[in-house]
Structure 1
Amino acid sequence: MEEYFSQSKLDEYLPLITDVATNVLLAIVILLVGMFIARKVNNLVCNIGKRYDKLDDTLFRFLGSLARYVVLAFVFIAVLNRFGVQTASIVALLGAAGLAVGLALQGALSNLAAGVMLLIFRPYKVGDFIDAAGRFGNVVEIDLFTTILDTFDRQQIIIPNSQIWGSQIVNHSHHPIRGVDMHFGVAYKENTDDARRVIDAVLEAHPHILKDPAPFVEVETLNNSSVDFLVRPFVKGEHYFDVLYSVPEQIKKALDAANIEIPFPHTKVILSKED
Protein backbone atom coordinates (compact mmCIF):
# COMPACT_ATOMS: atom_id res chain seq x y z
CA MET A 1 0.00 0.00 0.00
CA GLU A 2 2.79 2.40 0.96
CA GLU A 3 4.59 1.66 -2.28
CA TYR A 4 1.37 2.40 -4.15
CA PHE A 5 1.01 5.83 -2.60
CA SER A 6 4.66 6.68 -3.33
CA GLN A 7 4.23 5.73 -6.96
CA SER A 8 0.98 7.69 -7.10
CA LYS A 9 2.66 10.86 -5.74
CA LEU A 10 5.55 10.43 -8.17
CA ASP A 11 3.12 10.14 -11.05
CA GLU A 12 1.31 13.23 -9.77
CA TYR A 13 4.42 15.46 -9.45
CA LEU A 14 6.30 14.12 -12.47
CA PRO A 15 4.55 16.43 -15.02
CA LEU A 16 5.20 19.43 -12.76
CA ILE A 17 8.87 18.54 -12.34
CA THR A 18 9.19 17.96 -16.07
CA ASP A 19 7.53 21.30 -16.81
CA VAL A 20 9.81 23.17 -14.37
CA ALA A 21 12.92 21.48 -15.75
CA THR A 22 11.84 22.28 -19.31
CA ASN A 23 11.25 25.94 -18.43
CA VAL A 24 14.63 26.17 -16.69
CA LEU A 25 16.42 24.65 -19.69
CA LEU A 26 14.54 26.91 -22.11
CA ALA A 27 15.28 29.94 -19.92
CA ILE A 28 18.98 29.07 -19.93
CA VAL A 29 18.91 28.63 -23.71
CA ILE A 30 17.06 31.95 -24.15
CA LEU A 31 19.53 33.68 -21.84
CA LEU A 32 22.59 32.30 -23.61
CA VAL A 33 21.23 33.00 -27.10
CA GLY A 34 20.11 36.47 -26.02
CA MET A 35 23.52 37.31 -24.56
CA PHE A 36 25.16 36.08 -27.77
CA ILE A 37 22.84 38.19 -29.93
CA ALA A 38 23.34 41.24 -27.67
CA ARG A 39 27.11 40.92 -27.99
CA LYS A 40 26.88 40.52 -31.76
CA VAL A 41 24.59 43.56 -32.08
CA ASN A 42 26.98 45.62 -29.96
CA ASN A 43 29.98 44.59 -32.09
CA LEU A 44 28.06 45.18 -35.32
CA VAL A 45 27.14 48.75 -34.37
CA CYS A 46 30.65 49.54 -33.07
CA ASN A 47 32.25 48.19 -36.25
CA ILE A 48 30.17 50.59 -38.36
CA GLY A 49 31.94 53.49 -36.64
CA LYS A 50 35.35 51.90 -37.13
CA ARG A 51 34.73 51.13 -40.79
CA TYR A 52 34.28 54.74 -41.89
CA ASP A 53 36.71 57.49 -40.97
CA LYS A 54 34.06 60.20 -41.08
CA LEU A 55 31.95 58.49 -38.41
CA ASP A 56 32.73 59.06 -34.75
CA ASP A 57 33.64 56.01 -32.65
CA THR A 58 32.27 57.57 -29.45
CA LEU A 59 28.76 57.77 -30.85
CA PHE A 60 28.74 54.22 -32.18
CA ARG A 61 30.15 52.79 -28.95
CA PHE A 62 27.27 54.45 -27.14
CA LEU A 63 24.71 53.21 -29.68
CA GLY A 64 26.21 49.72 -29.50
CA SER A 65 25.89 49.65 -25.71
CA LEU A 66 22.34 50.99 -25.94
CA ALA A 67 21.36 48.29 -28.47
CA ARG A 68 22.97 45.61 -26.29
CA TYR A 69 20.98 46.64 -23.20
CA VAL A 70 17.74 46.82 -25.19
CA VAL A 71 18.27 43.24 -26.41
CA LEU A 72 19.11 42.09 -22.87
CA ALA A 73 15.94 43.74 -21.53
CA PHE A 74 13.82 41.75 -23.99
CA VAL A 75 15.75 38.59 -23.08
CA PHE A 76 15.08 39.19 -19.38
CA ILE A 77 11.36 39.62 -20.07
CA ALA A 78 11.30 36.43 -22.19
CA VAL A 79 12.99 34.47 -19.37
CA LEU A 80 10.45 35.69 -16.82
CA ASN A 81 7.65 34.82 -19.23
CA ARG A 82 8.88 31.20 -19.36
CA PHE A 83 8.20 30.94 -15.60
CA GLY A 84 4.68 32.31 -15.89
CA VAL A 85 5.47 35.80 -14.58
CA GLN A 86 3.09 38.44 -15.89
CA THR A 87 5.49 40.64 -17.85
CA ALA A 88 2.92 43.25 -18.86
CA SER A 89 3.13 44.86 -15.42
CA ILE A 90 6.95 44.74 -15.56
CA VAL A 91 6.96 46.46 -18.95
CA ALA A 92 4.58 49.11 -17.61
CA LEU A 93 6.79 49.56 -14.54
CA LEU A 94 9.92 49.92 -16.68
CA GLY A 95 8.11 52.46 -18.87
CA ALA A 96 7.03 54.49 -15.86
CA ALA A 97 10.53 54.32 -14.38
CA GLY A 98 12.02 55.40 -17.73
CA LEU A 99 9.61 58.35 -17.87
CA ALA A 100 10.49 59.41 -14.32
CA VAL A 101 14.21 59.17 -15.02
CA GLY A 102 13.75 61.08 -18.29
CA LEU A 103 11.94 63.93 -16.50
CA ALA A 104 14.56 64.04 -13.76
CA LEU A 105 17.42 64.07 -16.24
CA GLN A 106 15.87 66.15 -19.03
CA GLY A 107 18.82 68.57 -18.97
CA ALA A 108 21.31 65.74 -19.34
CA LEU A 109 19.18 64.10 -22.03
CA SER A 110 19.03 67.34 -24.02
CA ASN A 111 22.84 67.47 -23.89
CA LEU A 112 22.94 63.82 -24.95
CA ALA A 113 20.61 64.43 -27.89
CA ALA A 114 22.68 67.45 -28.95
CA GLY A 115 25.87 65.40 -28.58
CA VAL A 116 24.47 62.70 -30.84
CA MET A 117 23.59 65.32 -33.47
CA LEU A 118 27.05 66.91 -33.25
CA LEU A 119 28.75 63.53 -33.64
CA ILE A 120 26.53 62.60 -36.60
CA PHE A 121 26.73 65.86 -38.55
CA ARG A 122 30.25 66.82 -37.35
CA PRO A 123 30.15 70.61 -37.79
CA TYR A 124 33.58 70.59 -36.14
CA LYS A 125 36.19 68.08 -35.03
CA VAL A 126 39.01 67.85 -32.49
CA GLY A 127 41.72 70.34 -33.41
CA ASP A 128 39.37 72.91 -35.01
CA PHE A 129 39.11 76.50 -33.83
CA ILE A 130 35.45 77.30 -33.31
CA ASP A 131 33.27 80.13 -32.08
CA ALA A 132 30.18 78.66 -30.38
CA ALA A 133 27.91 79.46 -27.43
CA GLY A 134 29.71 82.80 -27.05
CA ARG A 135 33.09 81.10 -26.61
CA PHE A 136 36.12 80.83 -28.87
CA GLY A 137 38.87 78.21 -28.65
CA ASN A 138 40.52 75.06 -29.92
CA VAL A 139 38.42 71.89 -29.65
CA VAL A 140 40.29 69.32 -27.56
CA GLU A 141 37.49 66.83 -26.84
CA ILE A 142 33.95 66.05 -27.96
CA ASP A 143 31.83 63.61 -25.99
CA LEU A 144 28.13 62.86 -25.78
CA PHE A 145 27.39 65.55 -23.19
CA THR A 146 30.02 68.30 -23.50
CA THR A 147 32.57 69.91 -25.81
CA ILE A 148 35.88 71.01 -24.27
CA LEU A 149 37.77 74.04 -25.62
CA ASP A 150 41.23 75.40 -24.88
CA THR A 151 41.59 79.18 -25.21
CA PHE A 152 44.67 81.20 -26.17
CA ASP A 153 45.21 82.21 -22.55
CA ARG A 154 45.26 78.53 -21.53
CA GLN A 155 41.81 78.25 -20.03
CA GLN A 156 39.77 75.09 -20.36
CA ILE A 157 36.11 75.72 -21.17
CA ILE A 158 33.56 72.91 -20.86
CA ILE A 159 30.38 73.71 -22.80
CA PRO A 160 27.18 71.60 -22.60
CA ASN A 161 26.38 70.32 -26.08
CA SER A 162 22.80 71.63 -25.97
CA GLN A 163 24.12 75.21 -25.79
CA ILE A 164 26.29 74.64 -28.88
CA TRP A 165 23.72 72.81 -31.01
CA GLY A 166 21.10 75.47 -30.30
CA SER A 167 23.29 78.39 -31.39
CA GLN A 168 25.40 79.57 -34.32
CA ILE A 169 28.64 77.63 -34.84
CA VAL A 170 31.54 79.29 -36.65
CA ASN A 171 34.26 76.81 -37.61
CA HIS A 172 37.38 78.84 -38.37
CA SER A 173 39.28 75.70 -39.44
CA HIS A 174 36.82 74.31 -41.96
CA HIS A 175 38.55 75.68 -45.08
CA PRO A 176 42.29 75.11 -45.60
CA ILE A 177 42.74 78.66 -46.99
CA ARG A 178 41.20 81.68 -45.31
CA GLY A 179 40.95 85.40 -45.90
CA VAL A 180 42.02 87.71 -43.09
CA ASP A 181 39.94 90.90 -43.06
CA MET A 182 41.60 94.07 -41.75
CA HIS A 183 40.74 97.75 -42.04
CA PHE A 184 43.13 100.71 -42.29
CA GLY A 185 42.38 104.39 -42.68
CA VAL A 186 44.50 107.17 -44.25
CA ALA A 187 43.91 110.90 -44.30
CA TYR A 188 41.93 112.52 -47.12
CA LYS A 189 44.96 114.51 -48.20
CA GLU A 190 46.97 111.36 -48.91
CA ASN A 191 47.19 109.71 -52.31
CA THR A 192 45.28 106.40 -52.19
CA ASP A 193 47.52 104.82 -54.83
CA ASP A 194 50.59 105.52 -52.70
CA ALA A 195 48.88 104.07 -49.63
CA ARG A 196 47.87 100.97 -51.61
CA ARG A 197 51.46 100.45 -52.80
CA VAL A 198 52.76 100.62 -49.21
CA ILE A 199 50.17 98.08 -48.05
CA ASP A 200 50.86 95.78 -51.02
CA ALA A 201 54.60 95.86 -50.24
CA VAL A 202 53.98 94.75 -46.64
CA LEU A 203 51.74 91.90 -47.78
CA GLU A 204 54.20 90.84 -50.47
CA ALA A 205 57.02 90.55 -47.94
CA HIS A 206 55.07 88.56 -45.36
CA PRO A 207 56.15 84.86 -45.39
CA HIS A 208 52.70 83.45 -44.57
CA ILE A 209 50.59 85.42 -47.04
CA LEU A 210 49.76 83.53 -50.23
CA LYS A 211 50.33 84.88 -53.72
CA ASP A 212 47.41 82.88 -55.11
CA PRO A 213 44.73 83.93 -54.41
CA ALA A 214 46.13 87.45 -54.47
CA PRO A 215 45.45 89.80 -51.55
CA PHE A 216 42.49 92.15 -51.90
CA VAL A 217 43.31 95.82 -51.14
CA GLU A 218 40.65 98.40 -52.05
CA VAL A 219 39.02 101.54 -50.68
CA GLU A 220 35.91 100.42 -48.83
CA THR A 221 34.49 103.50 -47.08
CA LEU A 222 34.84 107.28 -47.11
CA ASN A 223 34.54 108.00 -43.42
CA ASN A 224 34.18 111.35 -41.66
CA SER A 225 37.91 111.80 -41.15
CA SER A 226 39.56 109.02 -43.16
CA VAL A 227 39.61 107.00 -46.35
CA ASP A 228 39.25 103.38 -45.18
CA PHE A 229 40.87 100.44 -46.96
CA LEU A 230 39.62 96.86 -46.75
CA VAL A 231 42.70 94.62 -46.74
CA ARG A 232 42.13 90.87 -47.16
CA PRO A 233 45.23 88.69 -47.60
CA PHE A 234 44.76 84.92 -47.94
CA VAL A 235 46.63 82.43 -45.76
CA LYS A 236 46.66 78.78 -44.79
CA GLY A 237 44.42 78.08 -41.83
CA GLU A 238 47.25 77.46 -39.37
CA HIS A 239 48.73 80.91 -40.11
CA TYR A 240 45.50 82.89 -39.70
CA PHE A 241 46.21 84.33 -36.28
CA ASP A 242 49.90 84.95 -37.03
CA VAL A 243 48.87 87.21 -39.91
CA LEU A 244 45.93 88.79 -38.06
CA TYR A 245 48.13 89.94 -35.18
CA SER A 246 51.35 90.80 -37.05
CA VAL A 247 50.27 92.61 -40.23
CA PRO A 248 48.51 95.64 -38.62
CA GLU A 249 51.67 96.73 -36.82
CA GLN A 250 53.77 96.20 -39.94
CA ILE A 251 51.40 98.29 -42.07
CA LYS A 252 51.32 101.03 -39.43
CA LYS A 253 55.11 101.24 -39.39
CA ALA A 254 55.26 101.19 -43.22
CA LEU A 255 52.73 104.03 -43.51
CA ASP A 256 54.66 106.05 -40.93
CA ALA A 257 57.91 105.47 -42.85
CA ALA A 258 56.24 106.70 -46.04
CA ASN A 259 54.90 109.80 -44.21
CA ILE A 260 51.31 108.76 -44.92
CA GLU A 261 49.06 110.08 -42.19
CA ILE A 262 46.82 107.70 -40.28
CA PRO A 263 44.09 110.02 -38.97
CA PHE A 264 42.15 109.80 -35.77
CA PRO A 265 38.72 111.30 -35.03
CA HIS A 266 38.96 115.00 -34.20
CA THR A 267 36.75 118.02 -33.97
CA LYS A 268 37.46 121.35 -35.64
CA VAL A 269 36.26 124.39 -33.68
CA ILE A 270 35.81 127.65 -35.62
CA LEU A 271 35.66 130.83 -33.54
CA SER A 272 34.05 133.85 -35.07
CA LYS A 273 34.58 137.38 -33.75
CA GLU A 274 31.36 139.30 -33.35
CA ASP A 275 31.30 142.94 -34.43
Structure 2
Amino acid sequence: MNKLMSPENFKIWLEAAFLALIGFTAVRIAVRASCMALAKGLDENKLLIFSKLTTYVLNTLILLLALDFAGVELKLLLGAAGVFTVAIGFASQTSASNLISGLFLIAEKPFKKGDVITVGERTGVVLAINLFSTRLRTLDNLLVRVPNETLMKSEITNVTHFPIRRADLQIPLSFDADLARVEKVLLELAESSGQCLDEPKPIFIVQGIRESRLDAQFSFWIHRDNFLKTKNAFYGRMITAFKESNIEISLPKMVHINRD
Protein backbone atom coordinates (compact mmCIF):
# COMPACT_ATOMS: atom_id res chain seq x y z
CA MET A 1 0.00 0.00 0.00
CA ASN A 2 2.92 2.36 0.82
CA LYS A 3 4.35 1.64 -2.57
CA LEU A 4 1.09 2.54 -4.26
CA MET A 5 0.92 5.87 -2.40
CA SER A 6 4.58 6.74 -2.89
CA PRO A 7 5.51 10.04 -4.61
CA GLU A 8 6.56 8.11 -7.71
CA ASN A 9 3.00 6.87 -8.21
CA PHE A 10 1.28 10.12 -7.22
CA LYS A 11 1.04 11.16 -10.88
CA ILE A 12 -0.63 7.86 -11.77
CA TRP A 13 -3.20 8.37 -9.01
CA LEU A 14 -3.96 11.87 -10.28
CA GLU A 15 -4.42 10.52 -13.80
CA ALA A 16 -6.70 7.76 -12.48
CA ALA A 17 -8.77 10.31 -10.54
CA PHE A 18 -9.02 12.52 -13.63
CA LEU A 19 -10.13 9.59 -15.78
CA ALA A 20 -12.70 8.61 -13.14
CA LEU A 21 -14.06 12.17 -13.09
CA ILE A 22 -14.39 12.16 -16.87
CA GLY A 23 -16.09 8.77 -16.70
CA PHE A 24 -18.58 9.86 -14.03
CA THR A 25 -19.44 12.97 -16.07
CA ALA A 26 -19.89 10.91 -19.22
CA VAL A 27 -22.19 8.50 -17.38
CA ARG A 28 -24.31 11.39 -16.12
CA ILE A 29 -24.66 12.85 -19.60
CA ALA A 30 -25.33 9.46 -21.22
CA VAL A 31 -27.96 8.47 -18.65
CA ARG A 32 -29.73 11.80 -18.98
CA ALA A 33 -29.75 11.53 -22.78
CA SER A 34 -31.04 7.95 -22.57
CA CYS A 35 -33.86 8.99 -20.24
CA MET A 36 -34.88 11.75 -22.65
CA ALA A 37 -34.90 9.26 -25.53
CA LEU A 38 -36.95 6.73 -23.55
CA ALA A 39 -39.34 9.27 -22.02
CA LYS A 40 -42.09 8.55 -24.56
CA GLY A 41 -41.99 4.80 -24.07
CA LEU A 42 -41.55 4.57 -20.29
CA ASP A 43 -43.47 6.14 -17.44
CA GLU A 44 -41.79 8.27 -14.78
CA ASN A 45 -41.35 5.41 -12.31
CA LYS A 46 -39.58 3.15 -14.80
CA LEU A 47 -37.37 6.01 -15.95
CA LEU A 48 -36.38 6.59 -12.34
CA ILE A 49 -35.34 2.99 -11.75
CA PHE A 50 -33.52 2.87 -15.11
CA SER A 51 -31.64 6.07 -14.32
CA LYS A 52 -30.53 5.06 -10.83
CA LEU A 53 -29.58 1.47 -11.57
CA THR A 54 -27.70 2.39 -14.74
CA THR A 55 -25.84 5.15 -12.92
CA TYR A 56 -24.88 2.87 -10.02
CA VAL A 57 -23.64 0.07 -12.27
CA LEU A 58 -21.66 2.25 -14.68
CA ASN A 59 -20.10 4.37 -11.93
CA THR A 60 -19.02 1.23 -10.09
CA LEU A 61 -17.44 -0.12 -13.28
CA ILE A 62 -15.60 3.16 -13.89
CA LEU A 63 -14.33 3.22 -10.31
CA LEU A 64 -12.94 -0.31 -10.68
CA LEU A 65 -11.25 0.58 -13.97
CA ALA A 66 -9.70 3.68 -12.41
CA LEU A 67 -8.33 1.65 -9.50
CA ASP A 68 -6.94 -0.90 -11.93
CA PHE A 69 -5.27 1.91 -13.89
CA ALA A 70 -3.69 3.14 -10.64
CA GLY A 71 -2.21 -0.29 -10.02
CA VAL A 72 -4.58 -1.62 -7.38
CA GLU A 73 -4.95 -5.41 -7.54
CA LEU A 74 -8.67 -5.87 -8.16
CA LYS A 75 -8.63 -9.50 -6.99
CA LEU A 76 -7.63 -8.43 -3.49
CA LEU A 77 -10.06 -5.53 -3.58
CA LEU A 78 -12.97 -7.69 -4.69
CA GLY A 79 -12.09 -10.29 -2.08
CA ALA A 80 -12.16 -7.67 0.66
CA ALA A 81 -15.42 -6.33 -0.73
CA GLY A 82 -16.92 -9.81 -0.56
CA VAL A 83 -16.00 -10.18 3.10
CA PHE A 84 -17.37 -6.70 3.79
CA THR A 85 -20.60 -7.51 1.96
CA VAL A 86 -21.15 -10.63 4.05
CA ALA A 87 -20.42 -8.68 7.23
CA ILE A 88 -23.01 -5.99 6.54
CA GLY A 89 -25.48 -8.32 4.84
CA PHE A 90 -27.40 -9.07 8.00
CA ALA A 91 -27.62 -5.38 8.87
CA SER A 92 -28.94 -4.45 5.43
CA GLN A 93 -31.76 -6.98 5.12
CA THR A 94 -34.39 -4.27 5.60
CA SER A 95 -32.83 -2.06 2.93
CA ALA A 96 -32.66 -4.99 0.50
CA SER A 97 -36.29 -5.82 1.20
CA ASN A 98 -37.30 -2.20 0.61
CA LEU A 99 -35.29 -2.14 -2.63
CA ILE A 100 -36.91 -5.32 -3.95
CA SER A 101 -40.34 -4.06 -2.90
CA GLY A 102 -39.65 -0.79 -4.71
CA LEU A 103 -38.85 -2.67 -7.91
CA PHE A 104 -42.10 -4.63 -7.63
CA LEU A 105 -44.09 -1.44 -7.00
CA ILE A 106 -42.58 0.23 -10.05
CA ALA A 107 -43.24 -2.86 -12.20
CA GLU A 108 -46.78 -3.49 -10.92
CA LYS A 109 -47.77 0.22 -10.87
CA PRO A 110 -50.61 0.18 -8.30
CA PHE A 111 -50.20 3.96 -8.20
CA LYS A 112 -48.14 6.72 -9.78
CA LYS A 113 -46.84 10.13 -8.83
CA GLY A 114 -49.75 12.50 -8.21
CA ASP A 115 -52.26 9.80 -7.22
CA VAL A 116 -54.13 9.97 -3.92
CA ILE A 117 -53.75 6.69 -2.03
CA THR A 118 -54.76 5.30 1.35
CA VAL A 119 -52.35 3.04 3.24
CA GLY A 120 -53.59 1.95 6.64
CA GLU A 121 -54.83 5.11 8.33
CA ARG A 122 -52.82 7.41 6.07
CA THR A 123 -54.26 9.15 3.00
CA GLY A 124 -52.13 11.42 0.85
CA VAL A 125 -50.81 12.49 -2.53
CA VAL A 126 -47.86 10.50 -3.89
CA LEU A 127 -44.92 12.89 -4.21
CA ALA A 128 -42.20 10.42 -5.19
CA ILE A 129 -41.63 6.68 -5.58
CA ASN A 130 -38.00 5.95 -4.76
CA LEU A 131 -36.08 2.69 -4.60
CA PHE A 132 -36.37 2.33 -0.83
CA SER A 133 -39.42 4.38 0.13
CA THR A 134 -42.41 6.33 -1.12
CA ARG A 135 -43.17 9.87 0.00
CA LEU A 136 -46.72 11.09 0.60
CA ARG A 137 -48.19 14.51 1.34
CA THR A 138 -51.16 13.97 3.63
CA LEU A 139 -54.41 15.92 3.36
CA ASP A 140 -53.32 18.06 6.33
CA ASN A 141 -50.04 18.87 4.53
CA LEU A 142 -47.65 16.56 6.35
CA LEU A 143 -44.79 14.70 4.67
CA VAL A 144 -44.86 10.95 5.32
CA ARG A 145 -42.12 8.53 4.27
CA VAL A 146 -43.48 5.01 3.84
CA PRO A 147 -40.96 2.13 3.41
CA ASN A 148 -41.67 0.20 0.22
CA GLU A 149 -41.75 -3.07 2.15
CA THR A 150 -44.65 -1.67 4.20
CA LEU A 151 -46.51 -0.79 1.01
CA MET A 152 -46.04 -4.28 -0.41
CA LYS A 153 -47.43 -5.85 2.78
CA SER A 154 -50.36 -3.42 3.12
CA GLU A 155 -53.69 -2.98 1.40
CA ILE A 156 -53.44 0.07 -0.85
CA THR A 157 -56.50 2.01 -2.00
CA ASN A 158 -55.91 4.22 -5.03
CA VAL A 159 -58.53 6.93 -4.60
CA THR A 160 -57.88 8.67 -7.93
CA HIS A 161 -57.16 5.73 -10.23
CA PHE A 162 -60.50 5.90 -12.08
CA PRO A 163 -61.97 9.12 -13.54
CA ILE A 164 -65.32 8.77 -11.74
CA ARG A 165 -66.33 7.79 -8.20
CA ARG A 166 -69.55 6.77 -6.49
CA ALA A 167 -70.85 8.84 -3.61
CA ASP A 168 -72.94 6.90 -1.06
CA LEU A 169 -75.25 8.92 1.17
CA GLN A 170 -76.58 7.13 4.25
CA ILE A 171 -80.10 8.37 5.04
CA PRO A 172 -82.02 7.32 8.20
CA LEU A 173 -85.76 7.61 7.51
CA SER A 174 -88.78 7.31 9.73
CA PHE A 175 -91.19 4.41 9.24
CA ASP A 176 -93.82 6.89 8.01
CA ALA A 177 -91.65 8.10 5.12
CA ASP A 178 -93.08 7.69 1.62
CA LEU A 179 -90.21 5.82 -0.05
CA ALA A 180 -91.41 6.54 -3.58
CA ARG A 181 -91.54 10.23 -2.78
CA VAL A 182 -88.11 10.13 -1.17
CA GLU A 183 -86.64 8.48 -4.26
CA LYS A 184 -88.29 11.02 -6.55
CA VAL A 185 -86.92 13.97 -4.56
CA LEU A 186 -83.40 12.52 -4.54
CA LEU A 187 -83.41 11.77 -8.27
CA GLU A 188 -84.59 15.31 -9.02
CA LEU A 189 -81.78 16.71 -6.88
CA ALA A 190 -79.23 14.57 -8.71
CA GLU A 191 -80.56 15.64 -12.11
CA SER A 192 -80.54 19.34 -11.24
CA SER A 193 -77.13 19.34 -9.58
CA GLY A 194 -75.19 19.55 -12.84
CA GLN A 195 -72.46 17.33 -11.35
CA CYS A 196 -74.13 13.91 -10.99
CA LEU A 197 -73.62 11.66 -14.01
CA ASP A 198 -76.53 10.18 -15.95
CA GLU A 199 -74.57 6.96 -16.45
CA PRO A 200 -74.16 4.98 -14.30
CA LYS A 201 -77.59 5.95 -13.08
CA PRO A 202 -78.24 7.09 -9.49
CA ILE A 203 -79.87 4.44 -7.32
CA PHE A 204 -81.97 4.51 -4.14
CA ILE A 205 -82.15 1.42 -1.92
CA VAL A 206 -83.39 0.48 1.54
CA GLN A 207 -80.61 -1.41 3.29
CA GLY A 208 -82.45 -2.57 6.36
CA ILE A 209 -84.96 -1.97 9.13
CA ARG A 210 -83.91 -0.86 12.59
CA GLU A 211 -85.91 -0.52 15.79
CA SER A 212 -86.69 3.14 15.17
CA ARG A 213 -85.84 3.82 11.54
CA LEU A 214 -85.29 2.66 7.98
CA ASP A 215 -81.69 2.63 6.76
CA ALA A 216 -81.66 3.96 3.21
CA GLN A 217 -78.83 4.77 0.82
CA PHE A 218 -78.72 7.02 -2.21
CA SER A 219 -75.77 6.54 -4.56
CA PHE A 220 -74.70 8.64 -7.53
CA TRP A 221 -71.59 8.93 -9.70
CA ILE A 222 -69.48 12.05 -10.13
CA HIS A 223 -66.10 13.01 -11.56
CA ARG A 224 -63.33 12.44 -9.02
CA ASP A 225 -62.15 16.07 -9.13
CA ASN A 226 -65.54 17.25 -7.85
CA PHE A 227 -66.16 14.38 -5.43
CA LEU A 228 -65.94 16.01 -1.99
CA LYS A 229 -67.44 19.34 -3.04
CA THR A 230 -70.41 17.74 -4.80
CA LYS A 231 -71.10 15.19 -2.05
CA ASN A 232 -71.04 17.80 0.70
CA ALA A 233 -73.25 20.19 -1.28
CA PHE A 234 -75.73 17.39 -1.97
CA TYR A 235 -76.26 16.78 1.75
CA GLY A 236 -77.27 20.41 2.28
CA ARG A 237 -79.62 20.46 -0.70
CA MET A 238 -81.12 17.13 0.39
CA ILE A 239 -81.95 18.38 3.89
CA THR A 240 -83.59 21.50 2.46
CA ALA A 241 -85.61 19.47 -0.06
CA PHE A 242 -86.75 17.02 2.64
CA LYS A 243 -88.01 19.88 4.81
CA GLU A 244 -89.92 21.36 1.89
CA SER A 245 -91.45 17.95 1.08
CA ASN A 246 -92.20 17.08 4.74
CA ILE A 247 -89.93 14.05 4.63
CA GLU A 248 -88.75 13.17 8.11
CA ILE A 249 -85.20 12.07 8.82
CA SER A 250 -85.06 9.74 11.81
CA LEU A 251 -82.62 11.02 14.40
CA PRO A 252 -81.60 9.33 17.66
CA LYS A 253 -83.84 10.40 20.51
CA MET A 254 -82.75 10.73 24.11
CA VAL A 255 -85.19 9.52 26.74
CA HIS A 256 -84.97 11.05 30.21
CA ILE A 257 -86.03 8.83 33.09
CA ASN A 258 -87.11 10.51 36.29
CA ARG A 259 -86.09 8.30 39.19
CA ASP A 260 -87.89 10.35 41.83
Shorter-normalised TM range: 0.7 to 0.9
Question: What SS does structure 2 have at the residue aligned with 1:104?
Answer: coil
Deviates more, 1:207-216 or 1:187-196: 207-216
Q: Distance in 1 between matches of 2:130 and 2:173?
A: 49
What corresponds to 2:216 in structure 1? 229
In the alignment, does 2:243 pair up with 1:243? no
1:1-275 paired onto structure 2 within 5 Å? 39=27, 46=35, 49-54=38-43, 56=45, 57-72=47-62, 75=65, 85=73, 87-266=74-253
Show CA shifts across 1:62-100 (max 9, x none): 1111221343366468658xx694x44432211122233
Count of residue pairs the alignment pairs up: 237
Q: Distance in 2 between matches of 1:49 and 1:134?
A: 37
Q: Displacement, 1:222?
A: 2.1
Question: Structure 1 counterpart of 2:221, which letter?
Answer: F
Show CA shifts across 1:42-80 (max 9, x none): 579746753414352221111111221343366468658
**Which entry has the higher C-alpha Rg, 1 or 2?**
1
Tell me: CA distance 1:225–1:257, structure 2 relative to 1, closer, same or farther (3 Å).
Answer: same
What corresponds to 2:7 in structure 1? none
Show CA shifts across 1:199-241 (max 9, x none): 1122122222112221122222222322222211111111122
Show CA shifts across 1:140-196 (max 9, x none): 232223322223333332322222222011001111112112211211111110111
Tell me: CA distance 1:84–1:266, structure 2 relative to 1, closer, same or farther (3 Å).
Answer: closer
Tell me: CA distance 1:152–1:90, structure 2 relative to 1, closer, same or farther (3 Å).
Answer: closer
TM-score, normalised with respect to structure 2: 0.76
Q: Distance in 1 between matches of 2:50 and 2:42?
A: 12
Question: Structure 2 counterpart of 1:67, which letter?
Answer: V
Q: Which segments of 5 or more consecutive residues in structure 2 lack a partner in the other structure?
A: 1-11
Q: Distance in 1 between matches of 2:60 and 2:41?
A: 25
TM-score, normalised with respect to structure 1: 0.72
Question: What SS does structure 2 have at the residue aligned with 1:157?
Answer: strand
CA RMSD after TM alignment: 3.3
Question: What SS does structure 2 have at the residue aligned with 1:180?
Answer: strand
Q: Which segments of 5 or more consecutive residues in structure 1 lack a partner in the other structure?
A: 1-23, 270-275
Tell me: CA distance 1:145–1:244, structure 2 relative to 1, closer, same or farther (3 Å).
Answer: farther
Q: Distance in 2 between matches of 1:113 and 1:84?
A: 33
Question: What SS does structure 2 have at the residue aligned with 1:153?
Answer: coil
Tell me: CA distance 1:154–1:90, structure 2 relative to 1, closer, same or farther (3 Å).
Answer: closer
Q: Distance in 1 between matches of 2:62 and 2:170?
A: 63
Tell me: CA distance 1:102–1:208, structure 2 relative to 1, closer, same or farther (3 Å).
Answer: farther
What corresponds to 2:4 in structure 1? none
